[in-house]
Amino acid sequence: MLPPRLSSRARRKAGEKAVLARQDRAKVKEQVASGELFFFDLFKDERKSITRMKLVDLLQSVPGIGHARAQIIFERTKISPSRRIGGVGHRQIELLRQEFLLIKNSRKSGKLLVVSGPSGVGKSTITNRLRADERFWISVSVTTRLMRTGEVDGIDYIFVAEDKFNQMIKDNDFLEWADFAGSKYGTPKKAVDEALQDGKNVILEIELNGARQVRKNSKNAILIFIEPPSWEELTARLINRGTESEQSTQARLDRAKEELSAAAEFDYVVINHQVEQSVAELVSLALR
Ligand code: 5GP
């Protein structure tokens, strides 16, 4: 049978409708991908543009479900990939829910690693080497300290004013926070939780008081202390780094004495003779 003949006006209208439907579907896929919309809620959506959407297109917009995983889901549930959203029955929705649960449970949460030690010992040099390693995720702290030359906001730290930091404390946004040498430093909780759920081994590079808070609140955290080869070496590194005023260097050295005497509170101690070797030790401790 031939399709009915359409007048040019009807054809134009049909074309406009198709464009709107495509826009609806693209928006929905984007919202599912960003987590703004929940996949299963779309089975209740009665818009024709959505009920006529292919299940395979929607499924592949869910974070963590690509082509391969979608195919496995279709095979296991015996649902046809070309099925439209409006044609998925209650029992099939239930089967899809079970598949989602299986995926969630199979994703292992990552470990929380705290790297601490006196200022100038080389913690950030060590942790920075792991930035490109996708098994790890380095937390970016929030600080009220002034930005040093060469530092980048959002990469080295999130630099904020005192007011903003205090508001974040009130809003319970920090996993831990501490005062250090006249400035405040804190670890944003939400970002760390998300990275852990994503299966990343999260590294917090923080000072002693913060490490103690993590020890108290996160029982599974692994605490690693980085020690300098000697006191002389630490003093020389801090002074040669040339990033601090005389007053700040002195404040950091005073704190260093206290920090060094707390090494026994940590699960592991790594002596930073040489960066590559310390990085290798850190990785093997993290992945054991
Ligand atoms: P700096 O000013 O040299 O970058 O950092 C000073 C100290 O603050 C370092 O020992 C560093 O590890 C620590 N620090 C950096 N971020 C945080 C944080 O979020 N929380 C805590 N408690 N200490 C931090």
Q: What is the rounded average pLDDT for all residues in the chain? A: 93
Kindly state if the Cβ of 119 falls inside 6 Å of ligand 1: yes
Whether residue 3 lies inside any domain: the answer is no
* Nearest CA-CA partner of 64 in 99, 92, 88: 99
Residue nearest to atom 3 of ligand 1 (CA): 119
Q: Is 117 annotated as a binding residue?
A: yes
Whether residue 189 lies inside any domain: the answer is yes
Best probe residue, ligand 1, of 148, 180, 227 (max atoms within 8 Å of C-beta): 180
State the pLDDT confidence band at 7, using cuts at 50, 70 and 90: confident
Q: What is the pLDDT of residue 2?
A: 65
Kindly state if the Cβ of 187 falls inside 6 Å of ligand 1: yes
Asked if residue 175 has pLDDT above 70, the reply is yes
The domain boundary, picked from 91, 106, 121, lies at 106
Assign residue 211 the CATH number of its domain.
3.40.50.300
Q: Is 124 annotated as a binding residue?
A: yes
State the pLDDT confidence band at 15, using cuts at 50, 70 and 90: confident
Best probe residue, ligand 1, of 141, 179, 202, 253 (max atoms within 8 Å of C-beta): 141
Distance, in Å, from the CA atom of 73 to the CA atom of 95, rounded to the nearest integer, reads 9
Q: What is the pLDDT of residue 143?
A: 98
| Each residue's pLDDT tens digit, 61-86 | 998 888 999 999 999 999 999 999 99
Kindly state if the Cβ of 180 falls inside 6 Å of ligand 1: yes
Distance, in Å, from the CA atom of 223 to the CA atom of 208, rounded to the nearest integer, reads 10
% of the chain surpassing 90 pLDDT: 80
| Each residue's pLDDT tens digit, 25-65 | 999 999 999 888 999 999 999 999 999 999 999 999 998 88
Q: Taking the complete model, does pTM exceed 0.85, yes or no?
A: no
Assign residue 71 the CATH number of its domain.
1.10.8.50
Token code pair at residue 49 = 């543009």
Residues 100, 38, single domain; the answer is yes
Q: What is the pLDDT of residue 195?
A: 92
Residues 209, 122, single domain; the answer is yes
State the pLDDT confidence band at 1, using cuts at 50, 70 and 90: low
| Each residue's pLDDT tens digit, 249-260 | 999 999 999 999
Best probe residue, ligand 1, of 206, 212, 216 (max atoms within 8 Å of C-beta): 206
Number of domains forming the structure of the chain: 2
